[in-house]
Structure 1
């Protein structure tokens, strides 16, 4: 290929690279906002083509190149070096952005885990608090039941004592006293069952 033909190819590649770098810079900013298109993947290939064409352009010079040709070749080499430096800056910005996004992702994941752990602790605390409230309520009911049964037993015992004191004077009360004693025993059994059920309920609430 002739010098002029290769130079036209070089200029075309330079135009394409310039447009790609401009697009890469804007895309890099968009990517930081989450809208990047990733169009800059062709820049390294274009730079490699431009390097190769610049070498061909230098090789196409005659034995006695003109000053204009030498200046043009030198300028094209400077341009590709400028493009490579610009591309390195673009990649550096992208690497920094990727690192920052990774750090933000890690921070977000950590905060999410912390929030989940705190929610679990709060739920567990509420569950324990509710269990304590239920236990307190059950204990109050058990104490009230025991007091009521004790009062009933006291009444029955007093009545039994009065009946026993008059049993010798009033015939036929032995049968009544026997029935009263049976009722007292039955109430004692009922009180024991109620207290046992309350104890089982408390144990189930506590260890359940």
Structure 2
């Protein structure tokens, strides 16, 4: 019964991990849109809340898996502990990624708000010092020039960030694929009767062959010196 419950809960954990990865990818895209908005949108806040909810649910599932693993027999505990440790590491990595993305968005948004405030103050100051006939023209030109400079800087930063996050997402996807494949292989091996004994015999035979080969090489070297 515990083995069945463990498999069901682990299946839920894998599903939530995939959902989290997808939402993290969407959330990171808002870094590229910071130059277009000084305030967070409703959709952005919803995605952020969904990620928080998923991380909380995954933490609860991990606690359930730990309880089931502790109540299982020793024969099954090793495989289950390895799977739980893997889920825990992925959860930790996702939390770190989420916090980094969220921090970057907040810092960039604060910086943009500060720049906008400074530009507005400068524009107002220049406008007050201009002749009345120029006050309706020059501020617009100044804002347009500053906007172009800001767009150029943001464009460069966005390209760099996009490349970095694309690389990060690809590495995370590759790592998850390899990890899931490894877990599936380990689970299949554990489910085959006698496979552990067979693997143990193969490893013992490899060690024996390695030892024999080492002795032969040592003897040959000694013969070269003394013959």
**Pairing 1:44–2:52 present:** yes
Please identify, of 75-84 and 53-62, the stretch whose mean Cα deviation from structure 2 is larger: 53-62
Question: Alpha-carbon deviation of 1:33?
Answer: 3.9
* Structure 1: distance between partners of 2:35 and 2:7: 42
* Structure 2: distance between partners of 1:110 and 1:83: 40
- SS of aligned partner of 1:60: helix
* Structure 2: distance between partners of 1:94 and 1:86: 12
Larger radius of gyration: 1
Report how many aligned residue pairs link the two structures: 122
**Pairing 1:112–2:119 present:** no
Q: CA RMSD in A?
A: 2.2
Where has structure 1 moved over 4 Å in runs of 4 or more? none
* Structure 2: distance between partners of 1:67 and 1:32: 50
* Structure 2: distance between partners of 1:31 and 1:92: 13
Q: How does 1:56-135 map onto structure 2 within 5 Å?
A: 56-61=64-69, 62-64=72-74, 65-119=76-130, 122-123=131-132
Question: Alpha-carbon deviation of 1:41?
Answer: 3.0
TM, length-normalised to structure 2: 0.49
Higher RCO (Cα < 8 Å, 6 or more apart): 2
- List alignment gaps of at least 5 residues for structure 2: 134-227
**Pairing 1:8–2:5 present:** no
* Structure 1: distance between partners of 2:73 and 2:129: 80
* Structure 1: distance between partners of 2:58 and 2:80: 17
Is residue 23–residue 40 contact of structure 1 (8 Å, CA) maintained in 2? Answer: no
Question: Alpha-carbon deviation of 1:32?
Answer: 3.8
TM, length-normalised to structure 1: 0.53
